């Protein structure tokens, strides 16, 4: 059902219905969720939400743009408080066409002069429009609509201005004959007596809408008994919001803290829900290219002994390179590649490792265990799309991206081919050497660790790898096997990789320099130069 049709049915059916005020998309959605069948886009509260007076200081084009967001935010119809139509009959024609385009269900226009003043401010001094001129405006609006169900309601201000019941009835009849779909009769009295007198005299000639802001004590049963079609609660969400915002602002200013406020305000996830984040998340799954999530496990339990006393109070992973700790720099590199969930395994001086954006697992036996044991403590974090790294490497950021670009579903190692034939730790032999030429064929690991002699090596593993969906399971299997045969406590990470390679293919990605494994003061200087 079109929103215009839903609003027309709401206005014309014999039962009483209610509209609730909203002043932006968020409050409109709250109104719908509360169960109201329609939204009243109040001129007063729209103006107030912009911090201006309800005197047409907000232009009609600004109003249309703003109410468009309200219509987009809801599936129920929006009825706009259109003031006087923002000008003469020509402005009215443009207004109706624009409102139809932004899916607003209808508009209320009042028979005062442009620019108008709010009905509850100096009402006795407010001039009313000429009846014939206002009738022409109604006809212009009805002739301009392309949707036959678009609703135009004429608001009679005669009682507000003190012109009496007879004038209110005369105007209402003229507006009804001009084609208005309903009459909104307004009053500033705290008693509904003059409204009830109007209703009795009107005799149900056309649907009637009321705004009982001043006569709010009137029982709803009295409106229903007199055949009122629509009651509009016209400004109460804004007023409730003002009270709450004033109290919250004063409390925070006085306390200089959020402690007494945070438990009493809506949680952020409720804001995101009202904004429709779930729909966007669903759309992202349907329309964005699939990207595997990325996480990281960093092994930083070691002490480091060749730093001239620098690691007595902090592990080497916290030594600074150009003013930034090695570990913090590594996490920034991973973060730039999209890794948001990072687990750091701490050991020596664990309390000194405190970097933002990481969760921590502590290896209390760091002095008597190796890298494989530390990894085993964090094996729950070995999920598809995990980077595993030593916590003492400094590298150029492109190396991380190069590894990710070539990573497969298994395990992929970053290997420095410039260290081929060098007597260095973690030597690697692949199924073929790095020729410097591009090939579509992947390079596979043939052997790793001490079983590879320097002369037979094709490079050195730099302490960085990626595990995909299969690789995560393979590495957990190798960890479990080493734990079962009692070798896990003393094993290095290359020992686990050798176990994996014996059963599964492991991919090698060649790099050429651009990294330093910081094992001593010389390495620390080299890392700064890098």
Tokens found for residue 493: 């990470």
Q: Name residues whose C-beta falls within 8 Å of residue 358's C-beta, 6 or more positions apart in sequence.
A: 298, 331, 342, 343, 344
Burial code of 423-452, b = ≥16 C-beta within 10 A, e = fewer?
eeebbbbbeeebeeeeeeeebebbbbbeeb
Residues 417, 512 contacting (CB under 8 angstroms): yes
Residues 349, 362 contacting (CB under 8 angstroms): no
Indicate which residue of 17, 54, 149, 523 is catalytic.
54
Residues 77, 10 contacting (CB under 8 angstroms): yes
| Residue carrying structure tokens 């109040």 | 42
Burial code of 284-312, b = ≥16 C-beta within 10 A, e = fewer?
eeeeeeeeeebbbbbbbbbebeebeeebe
Residues 394, 483 contacting (CB under 8 angstroms): no
Q: How far apart are the first and last CA of the chain?
A: 66
54 is catalytic: yes
**Residue 449: strand, helix, or coil:** coil
DSSP per-residue codes, 87-125: SSHHHHHHHHHHHHHTT--EEEEESBPSSP--TTSSGGG
Tokens found for residue 417: 């081919």
Name the phi and psi angles at 181, rounded to 5: -75, -20
> Angle at the Cα of 232 (from 230 to 233), degrees rounded to 5?
145
Q: What's the rounded Cα separation, in Å, for the pair 451 and 427?
A: 9
Helix axes 89-101, 131-144, angle to 10 degrees: 30
Residues 171, 206 contacting (CB under 8 angstroms): no
Q: What's the rounded Cα separation, in Å, for the pair 399 and 352?
A: 28
Q: Name residues whose C-beta falls within 8 Å of residue 27's C-beta, 6 or more positions apart in sequence.
A: 21, 237, 238, 241
**Residue 85: strand, helix, or coil:** coil
Give the active site residues. 54
């Amino acid at each position: 059902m079109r929103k215009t049709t839903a609003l027309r049915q709401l206005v014309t059916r014999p039962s009483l219905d209610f509209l609730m005020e909203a002043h932006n998309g968020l409050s409109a959605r709250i109104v719908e969720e509360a169960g109201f069948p329609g939204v009243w886009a109040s001129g007063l509260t729209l103006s107030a939400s912009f911090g201006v007076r309800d005197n047409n200081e907000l232009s009609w084009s600004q109003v249309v743009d703003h109410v468009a967001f309200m219509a987009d935010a809801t599936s129920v119809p929006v009825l706009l408080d259109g003031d006087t139509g923002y000008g003469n009959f020509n402005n009215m024609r443009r207004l109706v066409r624009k409102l139809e385009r932004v899916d607003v269900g209808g508009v209320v226009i009042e028979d005062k002069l442009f620019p108008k003043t709010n009905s509850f401010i100096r009402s006795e001094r407010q001039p009313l429009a000429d009846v014939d001129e206002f009738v022409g405006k109604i006809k212009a609006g009805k002739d301009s609509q392309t949707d036959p169900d678009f609703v135009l309601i004429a608001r009679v201000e005669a009682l507000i201005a003190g012109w009496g019941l007879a004038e209110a009835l005369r105007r209402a009849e003229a507006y009804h004959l001009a084609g208005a779909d309903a009459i909104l009769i307004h009053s500033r009295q705290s008693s509904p007596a003059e409204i009830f007198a109007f209703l009795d005299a009107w005799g149900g000639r056309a649907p009637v809408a009321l705004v009982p802001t001043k006569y709010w004590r009137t029982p709803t049963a009295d409106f229903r008994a007199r055949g009122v079609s629509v009651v509009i609660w016209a400004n109460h969400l804004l007023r409730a919001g003002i009270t709450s915002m004033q109290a919250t602002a004063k409390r925070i200013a006085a306390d200089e803290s959020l402690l007494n406020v945070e438990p009493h305000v809506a949680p952020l996830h409720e804001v995101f829900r009202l904004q429709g984040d779930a729909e966007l998340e669903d759309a992202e799954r349907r329309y964005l290219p699939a990207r595997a999530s990325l996480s990281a496990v960093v092994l930083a339990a070691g002490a480091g002994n060749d730093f001239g006393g620098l690691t007595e109070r902090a592990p080497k992973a916290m030594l600074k390179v150009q003013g930034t700790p090695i570990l913090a720099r590594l996490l920034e590199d991973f973060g730039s590649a999209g890794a948001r969930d990072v687990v750091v395994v701490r050991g020596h001086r664990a309390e000194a490792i405190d970097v933002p954006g990481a969760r921590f697992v502590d290896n209390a036996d760091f002095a008597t265990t190796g890298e494989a044991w530390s990894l085993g403590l964090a094996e729950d974090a070995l999920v598809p799309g995990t980077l595993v790294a030593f916590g003492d490497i400094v590298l150029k950021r492109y190396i991380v991206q190069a590894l990710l670009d070539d990573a497969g579903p298994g395990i992929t190692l970053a290997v420095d081919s410039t260290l081929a034939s060098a007597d260095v730790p973690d030597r690697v032999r692949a199924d073929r050497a790095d020729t410097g030429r591009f090939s579509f064929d992947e390079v596979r690991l043939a052997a790793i660790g001490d079983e590879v002699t320097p002369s037979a090596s094709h490079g050195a593993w730099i302490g960085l790898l990626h595990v995909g969906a299969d690789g995560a399971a393979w590495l957990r299997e190798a960890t479990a096997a080493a734990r079962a045969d009692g070798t896990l406590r003393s094993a290095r990470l290359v020992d686990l990789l050798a176990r994996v390679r014996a059963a599964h293919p492991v991919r090698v990605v060649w790099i050429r320099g651009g990294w330093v494994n910081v094992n001593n003061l010389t390495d620390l200087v080299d890392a700064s130069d890098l």
